Structure 1
Amino acid sequence: MMRNRSEAVEVSSKTSDPIDADALIRTSQMVAGNFDLMDSGLADRVTRFVAWLNEQPSLRAEQKTAVEQQLRKLLATRLRLSADRRRIPAIADEKVERPIFVIGFARTGTTLIHSLLAEDPAARAPLWWHTHAPSPPPGEVAVTAQRIEQTAKDLDEMLALAPGLLTLHPYWDQRGHCPIECEEIFTLDFQNAYPTLLYKLPALAMILDASNIADAYRFHREFLQHLQWNQSPGHWVVKGIYHQFALDALFEAYPDALCIWPHRDPVQVHPSTLAITSVLYGGITDWQMDFKALGPAFMQSIAASVSEAMESPLIDDPRIFHVDFHALTRDPVDVIRRAYGHWGMDYSGAFESRMQAWLADPANASNRYGRYDYALEPFGLTREAIENAFEGYCRRFRLGKFA
């Protein structure tokens, strides 16, 4: 599993008391209007989450207030989801069939693949507003433009906090309708800390606890049930940069899941990943980060996780379709076409036409907010260090000098 990378962030000296988990729970219950839906598992996760946060470099008083507000909103949302599920028992009967998971490391084309797969008329994908305002279920009451706009304001605030993000990830310009990563779903259940829901929290993301991984994926499935209840049929297309480290749990929760996994030379992936990580967390922490320390710590964390993942026999499972990044950039539609053939899924002409139209639309151009020149030196890394750390992975998938 991916290691906790929070130690790479340095924030100013202590000026506030630790966050009180019990007070956070009580006030969140008041916000949600639910006082009897805090099950012991959720309460334990909130308590552990707050304990982890209190172990990070201490917050300034104004930071603590902002972080508590986001945590309170998050927990109130989670409580409302429980209330919805109790009020509408049919949600639990929803069948999530043959979901497609886009897995793999950040900056390997996962968002491109996700966006194209979502063009299938038979598909549906989780969007920003889904995780920021999921209650009441969209199948219960009409979702208004105002409801979606309220969530878009959160995204506007995050982008204002970290200028430059749109150059690195232009898809956020879709605001409330932008595609999201599955890590957000886990954050809703206090299983991790993902910045798009907790962008005021000045610490690198807390990674899923391996001992609780089955519960995390169980909630993931419940969340998709919540969104699809009483809606038009369609298979889910989701993506996340963690799933390849938890294939056992993924396939336990979704035995009929299908995965598409793009692979790119880590020497190219790391400067790109570190750039977006640094711009985002630089803004969140008021640029109180040691970037030279961030690079090696990040590389070692990913390398250790990749080493574990390479030992899983599920890597060769036929439910997983592996993709070379260069093949993806040359002809992304052909990659999707071949993936559908591999999975035995219906591939329609309408789907292909929609993908071609999406790719031709200037509004979807990857450089619509400019280009970013990536470098390793600012992060204390060298090509040789990365090649050595990921030699086994590169040999396995014929990347870099092994291509």
Structure 2
Amino acid sequence: MTTAELMLAEAGLVGDIAAGTMPGLTAALAALDQETGISADGRTRALAQFRDNLSRLAAIVADRAAHPEIAEIAIDRPVFILGLPRCGTSILHALIGADPQVRTPLQWEVAEPSPPPEAATFDTDPRAAGFDAYVAANFTGAWADILKAHPIGARIPQECGMILETAFQGINPTMLFSLPGYYDWYHKADTSFGYQVHKMWLQHLSWRNPRQRWVLKVQEHAYHLGELMRTYPDAVLVQPHRDPVTVMASISRLIEVIRCVSFTSIDRAALGRELLHLWHDGQVASMAWRKANPQVRVLDLRFKDIVADPVAAVRQVYHHAGMDFTATTEQAVSDWWVANPSDKHGQHRYELADYGLTREQVETVYADYIQTYGDFL
């Protein structure tokens, strides 16, 4: 029995779910075996993360078997926020998520999804407090800097990456542990199974706690828009944009901090080169898909406009998505903005040169993106 087969068996995953998970899990384990820079502690962290992914998927599958009606839940016109990292996607997601008519996956329920959350106890569910206690205990020392760049907390909207990784068809293993072999597999893979699992998650979380619409985000959707749209043919797409020079400096610093607890040392220049091309790959795929599918309208936004007037930006999204922008919506968006200044957890500081990159290098690699979306930068 291979390590992947053993891990799937330990999680209790069988049949089509095990078969769908197997290719990505096998690729991740092979890439981990080949990763020379990771520390012994980092390797332990990676295996624990892989097992947690399988455990969370197994919980979804078990609840679905016990309650077959979950599979009948309709996911109507979900809104997906696309875009490069560090270009306002998380801000926009949280702003919209403040609206009580909207459903976003919250971090606590994605971390511990079983039993399915219920509307009556959603605000008092003890799993939320447990998640916040975990964050307080673990995001300290070197890892505390993550909070300066990316908010983490029980009632903060969660990215789809934490859902897709349960099918081993998301990019998180690469972000956390490098694993270039896994990234090569993911980049070329057909991720239809990943989006089937993604829909299972939305049905699971909607079952006893529905809202009018789902709003979701993660940068890696750009790589596989075809698979996303086959699963959600009525999906609504929104894409904020930002100068890729600023994006590359910011995401390089964030990933350096994320990986620092798992590697004995980090070559900043190598990290800069890796991320420069990795995120551009996603935009190449996204631009090609958008060009081939002009019938799918995508709302393009400027990062600068989101931070200059968040209420107006959210109003644009609602108009594009056919959602009601109510007085309650406007108040909720305004209140969130006031309560969450950009430096709430301290300043996120970064310089492009720290990662061996120059403006000219970034602009050369991203020349196609800049030409296509220059009006939104």
- 1:115 CA drift (Å): 0.8
Tell me the equivalent position of 1:20.
Answer: 3
Tell me if the contact between 2:98 and 2:333 (Cα under 8 Å) persists in the aligned partners: yes
Q: 1:78 aligns with which of 52, 57, 62?
A: 57
- Please give the TM-score of this superposition, normalised by the length of structure 2: 0.88
Q: In 1, Cα distance between the equivalents of 2:22 and 2:93?
A: 33
Letter in 2 for 1:239: K
Matches within 5 A, 1:1-12: none
Q: In 2, Cα distance between the equivalents of 1:205 and 1:354?
A: 43
SS for the counterpart of 2:190 is helix
Tell me if the contact between 2:81 and 2:238 (Cα under 8 Å) persists in the aligned partners: yes
Q: In 2, Cα distance between the equivalents of 1:352 and 1:315?
A: 33
SS for the counterpart of 1:323 is strand
Cα separation, partners in 2 of 1:72 and 1:297, compared to 1, 3 Å: closer
Q: In 1, Cα distance between the equivalents of 2:35 and 2:48?
A: 18
Tell me if the contact between 2:39 and 2:263 (Cα under 8 Å) persists in the aligned partners: no
Tell me if the contact between 2:82 and 2:217 (Cα under 8 Å) persists in the aligned partners: yes
Cα separation, partners in 2 of 1:323 and 1:151, compared to 1, 3 Å: same
Q: 2:131 aligns with which of 151, 159, 163?
A: 151
Tell me if the contact between 1:162 and 1:284 (Cα under 8 Å) persists in the aligned partners: no
- 1:20 CA drift (Å): 3.1
Cα separation, partners in 2 of 1:195 and 1:333, compared to 1, 3 Å: farther
Total equivalences in the alignment: 371
SS for the counterpart of 2:69 is helix
- 1:63 CA drift (Å): 4.4
- 1:392 CA drift (Å): 1.8
Matches within 5 A, 1:331-342: 331-342=309-320
Tell me if the contact between 2:97 and 2:157 (Cα under 8 Å) persists in the aligned partners: no
Q: 2:149 aligns with which of 144, 149, 168?
A: 168
Cα separation, partners in 2 of 1:317 and 1:273, compared to 1, 3 Å: farther
SS for the counterpart of 1:177 is coil
Verify: 1:311 aligned to 2:288, yes or no: yes
Letter in 2 for 1:82: V
Cα separation, partners in 2 of 1:315 and 1:152, compared to 1, 3 Å: farther
Tell me the equivalent position of 2:270.
Answer: 293
Query: Structure 1: any 5+ residue segments left out of the alignment?
Result: 1-18
Q: 2:361 aligns with which of 378, 385, 396?
A: 385
- 1:323 CA drift (Å): 0.2
- 1:205 CA drift (Å): 10
Q: In 2, Cα distance between the equivalents of 1:141 and 1:117?
A: 22
Tell me the equivalent position of 1:278.
Answer: 256
- 1:153 CA drift (Å): 4.0
Verify: 1:114 aligned to 2:98, yes or no: no
Tell me if the contact between 2:31 and 2:179 (Cα under 8 Å) persists in the aligned partners: no
- 1:62 CA drift (Å): 4.7
Letter in 2 for 1:305: G
- 1:282 CA drift (Å): 1.8
Tell me the equivalent position of 2:162.
Answer: 184
Letter in 1 for 2:80: F
Q: In 2, Cα distance between the equivalents of 1:278 and 1:359?
A: 28
Tell me if the contact between 1:257 and 1:319 (Cα under 8 Å) persists in the aligned partners: no
Q: In 2, Cα distance between the equivalents of 1:42 and 1:373?
A: 38
Cα separation, partners in 2 of 1:337 and 1:153, compared to 1, 3 Å: same
Q: In 2, Cα distance between the equivalents of 1:215 and 1:183?
A: 14
- 1:75 CA drift (Å): 1.6
Letter in 2 for 1:289: I
> Greater share of helix residues, 1 or 2?
2
Q: In 2, Cα distance between the equivalents of 1:222 and 1:377?
A: 43
Tell me if the contact between 1:128 and 1:178 (Cα under 8 Å) persists in the aligned partners: yes
Q: CA RMSD in A?
A: 2.9
Q: In 1, Cα distance between the equivalents of 2:105 and 2:5?
A: 31
Letter in 2 for 1:50: L
SS for the counterpart of 2:240 is strand
- Please give the TM-score of this superposition, normalised by the length of structure 1: 0.83
Percent identical among aligned pairs is 28
Q: In 1, Cα distance between the equivalents of 2:19 and 2:311?
A: 47
Cα separation, partners in 2 of 1:53 and 1:389, compared to 1, 3 Å: same
Tell me if the contact between 1:37 and 1:83 (Cα under 8 Å) persists in the aligned partners: no
- 1:138 CA drift (Å): 1.6
- 1:45 CA drift (Å): 3.9
Matches within 5 A, 1:137-286: 137-139=116-118, 145-160=125-140, 162-169=143-150, 171-172=151-152, 175-192=153-170, 194=172, 201=177, 203=179, 206-207=182-183, 208-286=186-264
- 1:230 CA drift (Å): 2.6
Cα separation, partners in 2 of 1:100 and 1:46, compared to 1, 3 Å: same
Tell me if the contact between 1:24 and 1:68 (Cα under 8 Å) persists in the aligned partners: no
Letter in 2 for 1:375: E
